Amino acid sequence: MTAAPTAPPAPAAPAAPAPPTGAPRQLRWLLRLHRPALIAWAAFTVLAAVALLWLGGPLTSDAAAAWKDYRACAFGERCAYDQDAILAQKDLYRLTTYAVLTVPLLVAAWAGSALTGRETESGTARLGWTQGVSPVRWLAARLALPALLVTASTALLAALHRWAWTAGDGRVDTAKPWYDAATFYAGGLLPVALALTGLAAGALAGLLLGRSLPALAAGAAAVGGLWTALHHALPHLWPSVTRVGGLDEGPSGSGLWVREGVLVAGGERADAPCLNALAPGCRGELERLDATAFYRDFHPAAHYWPLQLVGAGVLLLVTALLTVAAFRLLRRRTA
């Protein structure tokens, strides 16, 4: 008796696709959650970059030509020069400088309100931690991509601002000197370092306060406080240059000011009661001090990049400390 034929084996079910790893999933969620902020930031960067390109190119050339025509005019005679080009270059330089200077404050406010504050306030962060994303990975994902975007965009704007200033230096009579506070902080390395400090300070404020609006204010205030402290400390973080001038000449040397005063008999320094020996009463006060000369400590133009490097190094150190503090705080609260 023959055996009944056996049924062929059922085909194996197709293997289920592997779940996406944590990093890509976090990246997609981060981009979707902050898409409006990303679009607004991209628009801001593009508009500011275009304005700086126009400022350093055609607008500065027109203003330089107008100033050349103005200097060619004889004193007391009426002459024609393009005053509108001069005013337009001056106004746009001021606006673009303020735009670059607001970047660290904007980054800090956004990081405190939206990056960490809103998610901790709404409970979205804890929901993600229960779905296989560790708190450390959650925070790392929220800092890594914004740090990359902030660094690239701010570096672009700072480089364009430096280039636009260089295009007008020596050609436009109303151009700001390099040691002007706004000009100094809008170019070079400091805007990038300040923006990264703002990112870390805002993220820490969001975790610490757990509410978006208070964290927004705290992040921006922290950056403003650090910026003010750096402004007062930076001239003393690099050796300055000293110039000595006679009493009839007054203090000499132009650059980033550090301190000035008078030299008395014996070479000791003292505060200057006045800086113009020809002014009424000034000569007598200097003689009572037994002053022999004026002195001035300052940073010349050659110190621009050393000051930028020192300031950026200090800010990056503060950024690292704020980042470590944010991770420690998160670990302690989610232990």
The mean pLDDT of the chain is: 86
Q: In terms of pLDDT, which residue wins out, 124 or 17? A: 124
Please tell me the least confidently modeled range out of 13-27, 33-47, 125-139.
13-27
pLDDT digits (tens, 9 = 90+) for 32-57: 767 888 899 999 999 999 999 999 99
Higher pLDDT, 4 or 134: 134
- For the record, the structure tokens of 292 come out as 């022999």
> What's the rounded mean pLDDT across residues 189-213?
93
**pLDDT, tens digit, 9 for 90 and up, residues 141-163:** 888 889 999 999 999 999 999 99
Q: How far is CA 95 from the centre of its chain?
A: 15
Does the structure show a pLDDT above 50 at 217? Answer: yes
pLDDT at 78 (0 to 100) = 73
**pLDDT (mean) for 293-314:** 95
Please give the DSSP secondary-structure letter assigned to residue 178. Answer: T
CA separation for the pair 109, 122 (Å, rounded):
18
Name which of 71, 306, 111 is nearest 212 in CA terms.
Answer: 111
* pLDDT bucket at 122, cuts 50 / 70 / 90: confident
State mean pLDDT over 98-103.
Answer: 96
pLDDT of residue 29: 64
Q: What is the pLDDT of residue 125?
A: 66
The SS3 of residue 132 is: coil
DSSP 179: T
The residues, any chain, with a CB within 8 Å of residue 112's CB and separated by 6 or more, are: 201, 202, 203, 205, 206, 209, 212, 215, 216, 217, 218, 219, 220
Residues above pLDDT 70, as percent of the chain: 86
What pLDDT is attached to residue 25? Answer: 62
- Contact call for residues 26 and 138 (beta carbons, < 8 A): yes
Kindly report the backbone phi and psi dihedral angles of residue 205, in degrees, each rounded to the nearest multiple of 5, phi listed first.
-65, -40
Look at residue 216 in the predicted model and tell me its pLDDT.
92
| 11 — pLDDT class (breaks 50, 70, 90) | low
Q: How distant is the alpha carbon of residue 76 from its chain centre?
A: 45
Confidence of residue 16 (pLDDT cuts 50, 70, 90): very low
pLDDT tens digits, one per residue of 238-291: 999 999 988 888 788 889 999 999 998 878 888 888 888 778 888 888 888 888
Burial class (CB in 10 A: 0-12, 13-18, 19+), 157: buried
